[in-house]
Structure 1
Amino acid sequence: MAEVSVRQLRKNYGDVAVIHGIDVSIADGEFVVLVGPSGCGKSTLLRMIAGLEEVTSGDIKIGDRRVNNLSPSKRDIAMVFQSYALYPHKTVEANMGFSLKLRKMDRAEIKRQVAEAAEILGLTPFLKRYPRALSGGQRQRVAMGRAIVRNPQVFLFDEPLSNLDAKLRVQMRTEIRELHQRLQTTTVYVTHDQIEAMTMADKIVVLNAGHVEQVGSPLDLYDRPKNKFVASFIGSPSMNLLDAEVVSVDDAVAKISLGDVTIDISSRHELLAGSQISLGVRPEHLKLATTGLPVTVRVVEPTGSEIHVVFQFQEQEITAIFRERHELAPGAKVFLEVELDQIHLFDGKSGVRLD
């Protein structure tokens, strides 16, 4: 196991810059998830750590070694890909032990290490099967087993669950997390799915257009997003961001205008009368009331344990989550009350958090 340090890392493809001076520190034994929309640079960053992409400038260290110019085989890492990358003509046992065979390890020791990894992953009954006879989840376990037997300092996962169905993804999330808790190997995991990031990570790195937007624990990012991008990306459904204007501010109260509706909130020193802001509120922090924001029901989505409702508020859309089974029909006009102690305020121009 080892810590991973990325300092002022840049990646250009010709004249096109895709990674812009990123700094990331990953502690020994930590499970870090790189998350962001398609094209944000997360897979490129992972591939640079792995040695599959050249570094334009900056430093990558694994433990106390600078690895910029080392080949992947010399970095003491193991990577699990989205596509499984199994040899179809080899059995599960042969696939898992192939890297050890290349090291010319003793055959009995290879068998022992493969058997140990297979036991951890529940693959013992399938060791003599070929990949074509396995389910998607079993193939992914084989790919993980192949990584485990190498006993690397760092595991790298590149969207390993994206080819699986929804139910299997949930199961595999749990299995990967339990595997990390058992092995305590430093892990860097890439996904575009923020639910995966929230449920699996010790620490999340949110990337956008080749820049780091915020680094923190899942709940840090959820409860105190640094800017509007993180606020809208972390959380499902995402945070509602409503255009607003600061009407007036005194020592205790700030009046905020949301179109035709004015609300009073606790004054904050960053607020200036006349400034444009965005008021953020999570879907679970809205409730039906007799007064508040006048909205019209657009779509009702029962999920079983909850009801997700999309409302129209003036020119903007608002999503709310209710645990109660309200009888709401499209076109109905109701009021939403905002839990004011749960709101988030962002600068209207920069998008930066205002407290």
Structure 2
Amino acid sequence: MEIKGKSVSSVSINQVTKSYGKISVIHGLDLEIEDGEFVVLVGPSGCGKSTLLRMIAGLELISGGQVSIGSRVVNELPPKERDIAMVFQSYALYPHKTVAQNMAFALKLQRVPKAEIESRVKLAAGILGLDGLLDRYPRQLSGGQRQRVAMGRAIVRQPQVFLFDEPLSNLDAKLRISMRTEIKELHQRLKTTMVYVTHDQIEAMTMADKIVVMNSGRIEQVGTPLDLYDSPRNLFVAQFIGSPAMNLLEGSLIKHSEAAIVTAGGLRIPAIAPPTLAIGTGLVFGVRPEHVRIDDAGFPAAVVVVEPMGAETQVTFNAQGTEFAGVFRERIRAAPGEIIRISFDPDRIYLFDKQTGHRL
């Protein structure tokens, strides 16, 4: 079952800026969101992702640049004329209205015929599994059910673009996982353009067609989840994408032949370095925890903490004053202080320029 009557639409952001007085928070962003794409804006608190979403919605005026939805420039259009629907962190449901009445309210304001309202509400309820809850009030619903009602309220409007502003932040961990799946399934079913804001990179990785990593009002990198995971452009993206985070060890290049770097604590690590790089150049060596290996021919490292996680075991090591984490599929039974020899997968090593943070 699909919602009819509305085509998907692209969103184009060209040199968009936002300032509050003399304080600039968005710095000339360019971003193309394709028709039907699920795009996640992700980054730490204060990076500008919610501000950008609100500018797309028309809830924030842009200071410069241009926002287009489909073929229309919407800079001067009020939110109600942009053909978007927004789902917020708070459910914002009317407590005195039933589920059906909450979902239908915006359509009644638009004077949509009663029969069409009932049809749209029934369709949305079927998509979201709310069929048996239409006569209930918000106080009679769980947090996940309330969030589905908020999404249903957006769906019945049949917008060109859905906007989500951290919609799962108020839910417990288990419910967040199930709601991630529901929202992804919703997108696959509706095939409508969706822009989703979160600070949680796990949400971004599991849900997005395309991730936009933001930092301090700028875009650091845009790509598919695996593009960003496998090929981070710089230190910020490398640290932000991935859980547990990538291990980053500071050191310097000590030779080109069978290239190696050495950390401040004296740990010597084989690495592939560009031949043009000067000996002594400051580097940051990166390796993801799952690419740390137990290896009898490796270097000795002391176990600091062992964290059993069921399917995996996470171990924090210390080697010559340098701490890093490893994730292993096998069960690791080791006591703190125990010495284990380990190595790093040579094909999965990243080198970054210490000064610029750019990947070499």
- Please indicate the TM-score interval, normalised by the length of the shorter structure: over 0.9
SS of 2:271's equivalent in the other structure is: strand
**1:12 deviation in Å?**
0.9
Q: Which whole-Å deviations, capped at 9, do the CAs of 1:253-308 have from their partners, x for residues lacking one?
A: 31222342323333434532110111100000001223434322221111100001
Whether the aligned pair in 1 keeps the contact of 2:256 and 2:275 (CA below 8 Å) is no
Residue type at the aligned position of 1:110: I
SS of 2:243's equivalent in the other structure is: coil
**1:66 deviation in Å?**
0.8
Match of 2:60 in 1: 53
Gaps of 5+ in 1: none
Q: Describe how 1:71-86 pairs up with structure 2 within 5 A.
A: 71-86=78-93
Aligned partner (choices 245, 258, 262) of residue 257 of structure 1: 262
Whether the aligned pair in 2 keeps the contact of 1:43 and 1:158 (CA below 8 Å) is yes
Q: Describe how 1:288-299 pairs up with structure 2 within 5 A.
A: 288-299=294-305
Whether the aligned pair in 1 keeps the contact of 2:273 and 2:351 (CA below 8 Å) is no
Q: Which whole-Å deviations, capped at 9, do the CAs of 1:180-200 have from their partners, x for residues lacking one?
A: 001000000000000000000
Match of 1:280 in 2: 286
Q: 1:227 to 1:89 in 2, by over 3 A?
A: same
Aligned partner (choices 97, 102, 110) of residue 95 of structure 1: 102
Q: Describe how 1:110-149 pairs up with structure 2 within 5 A.
A: 110-149=117-156
SS of 1:12's equivalent in the other structure is: strand
Say whether residues 1:104 and 2:145 are aligned partners: no
Q: Distance in 1 between matches of 2:18 and 2:300?
A: 48
Whether the aligned pair in 2 keeps the contact of 1:32 and 1:203 (CA below 8 Å) is yes
Say whether residues 1:22 and 2:48 are aligned partners: no
Structure 1 length normalisation: TM-score? 0.97
**1:2 deviation in Å?**
0.7
Structure 2 length normalisation: TM-score? 0.95
Q: Distance in 1 between matches of 2:57 and 2:322?
A: 43
Q: Describe how 1:162-201 pairs up with structure 2 within 5 A.
A: 162-201=169-208
- Runs (4+) off by over 6 Å: none
Q: Distance in 2 between matches of 1:105 and 1:270?
A: 67
Residue type at the aligned position of 2:89: Q
Match of 1:341 in 2: 347
**1:316 deviation in Å?**
3.1
- Share of identical aligned residues, percent? 62
Residue type at the aligned position of 2:233: K
Q: Distance in 2 between matches of 1:135 and 1:339?
A: 46
Q: 1:93 to 1:340 in 2, by over 3 A?
A: same
SS of 2:259's equivalent in the other structure is: strand
Gaps of 5+ in 2: 1-7
Q: Which whole-Å deviations, capped at 9, do the CAs of 1:137-188 have from their partners, x for residues lacking one?
A: 0000000000000000000000001111111111010010010001000000
Say whether residues 1:154 and 2:161 are aligned partners: yes
Q: Distance in 2 between matches of 1:74 and 1:19?
A: 24
Q: Distance in 2 between matches of 1:36 and 1:267?
A: 30
SS of 1:115's equivalent in the other structure is: helix
Whether the aligned pair in 1 keeps the contact of 2:25 and 2:217 (CA below 8 Å) is yes
Q: Distance in 2 between matches of 1:171 and 1:271?
A: 48
Q: Distance in 2 between matches of 1:296 and 1:265?
A: 22
Aligned residues, how many?
A: 352
Q: Distance in 2 between matches of 1:39 and 1:46?
A: 13
Larger deviation: 284-293 or 214-223?
284-293
Whether the aligned pair in 2 keeps the contact of 1:59 and 1:68 (CA below 8 Å) is yes
Whether the aligned pair in 2 keeps the contact of 1:248 and 1:272 (CA below 8 Å) is no
Larger deviation: 106-115 or 26-35?
106-115
Whether the aligned pair in 1 keeps the contact of 2:13 and 2:66 (CA below 8 Å) is yes
Q: 1:316 to 1:39 in 2, by over 3 A?
A: farther
Whether the aligned pair in 1 keeps the contact of 2:267 and 2:319 (CA below 8 Å) is no
Q: Which whole-Å deviations, capped at 9, do the CAs of 1:215-261 have from their partners, x for residues lacking one?
A: 000000000000000000000000000112111214xx312223423
Q: Distance in 1 between matches of 2:301 and 2:213?
A: 32
Q: Which whole-Å deviations, capped at 9, do the CAs of 1:285-334 have from their partners, x for residues lacking one?
A: 00122343432222111110000111223333201101111211112222
Q: Distance in 2 between matches of 1:342 and 1:189?
A: 30
Whether the aligned pair in 2 keeps the contact of 1:307 and 1:323 (CA below 8 Å) is yes
SS of 1:9's equivalent in the other structure is: strand
Report the aligned-residue RMSD: 1.2
SS of 1:37's equivalent in the other structure is: coil
Residue type at the aligned position of 2:252: E
